[in-house]
Amino acid sequence: MVVTPQPEPDVFCAISHPARRRMLDLLAAADRSVGAIAAHFEMSRPAVSQHLRVLLDAGLVTEQRHGRERHYHFVPDRLGPVREWIAQYERFWDERLGRLQKLLSEGTTE
């Protein structure tokens, strides 16, 4: 039997949905239960749980049981691949901001 290794969880796919990005924003502020997260959305609690499962599978959150509740914790280090990818494009922003700054400073010297 050949065992195929499981692919690395896709962090980009996990953050592609706006609801999951909002959930990460909430968890960046504080650990929360499913119910506390669901209170911020107009979707069913099972739908929130499905989104949390995607974040959990990608390693962006951890889950800890407290009695019957599950609390979720944000793991920001897993966003490293996103940060590295965005860093490639910072030079374009820096160039454009530099040109804008130059234009603005030329306009104020008149």
Per domain, the residue ranges of the chain are: 11-108
DSSP SS3 for 10: coil
CATH says 11-108 is which class?
mainly alpha
For residue 105, the model assigns a pLDDT of 86
Q: Give the closest residue to 58 by CA, choosing from 37, 35, 82, 78.
A: 78
Amino acid in the structure at residue 34: V
For residue 43, the model assigns a pLDDT of 96
d(CA 21, CA 23): 5
For residue 95, the model assigns a pLDDT of 85
Rounded to 5°, the CA angle 22-9-27 comes to 25
For residue 47, the model assigns a pLDDT of 97
For residue 2, the model assigns a pLDDT of 58
For residue 27, the model assigns a pLDDT of 98
For residue 7, the model assigns a pLDDT of 53
In this prediction the pTM is 0.77
Q: How far is CA 66 from CA 32, 37, 70, in A?
A: 11, 16, 6
* Alpha helices, DSSP H, located in the chain: 11-14, 18-29, 34-38, 45-57, 80-87, 90-108
pLDDT in tens, the chain (110 residues): 655 555 566 899 999 999 999 999 999 999 999 999 999 999 999 999 999 999 999 999 999 998 999 999 999 999 999 999 998 888 888 888 888 888 888 876 55
